[in-house]
């Protein structure tokens, strides 16, 4: 005579629950982290940075460079906002 445990082992609900759990873990692993991680801040002398690196540096500090800004204008804003290195 089958017991309730025997019925539970034959149940499709347990298989569906396990499949749902595996699917949820897979979705979290794929989409849970940063899909496109942010690029690191440019390093070195700002005069050698590209236009994109200058814009990324200013945007990361919420200084929002204009679309029509020239590299000279961007460099001037970067120099004005650089921290003085402590020695």
Cβ-count burial of 75 within 10 angstroms (0-12 exposed, 13-18 middle, 19+ buried)?
A: middle
Do 51 and 72 form a contact (C-beta atoms < 8 A)?
no
Confidence category of residue 23, pLDDT binned at 50, 70, 90: very high
Give the torsion sign (CA, 47, 43, 39, 60): negative
- For the cut 80, the answer to whether the pLDDT of residue 76 exceeds it is yes
Instruction: Check residue 84 and give its pLDDT.
Output: 64
Q: What is the per-residue pLDDT across 44-72, written as a single tens digit (0 to 9) for each?
A: 999 999 999 999 999 989 998 888 999 99
d(CA 52, CA 56): 6
Evaluate if residue 7 carries a pLDDT over 70.
yes
- What pLDDT shows up at residue 32? 81
């Amino acid at each position: 005579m089958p017991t309730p445990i025997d019925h539970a082992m034959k149940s499709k609900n347990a298989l569906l629950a396990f499949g749902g759990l595996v699917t949820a873990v897979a979705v979290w692993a794929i989409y849970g982290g940063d899909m496109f991680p942010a690029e690191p801040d440019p390093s070195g002398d700002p005069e050698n940075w590209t236009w994109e690196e200058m814009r990324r540096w200013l945007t990361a500090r919420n200084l929002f460079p204009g679309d029509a800004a020239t590299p000279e204008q961007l460099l001037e804003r970067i120099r004005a906002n650089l921290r003085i290195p402590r020695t």
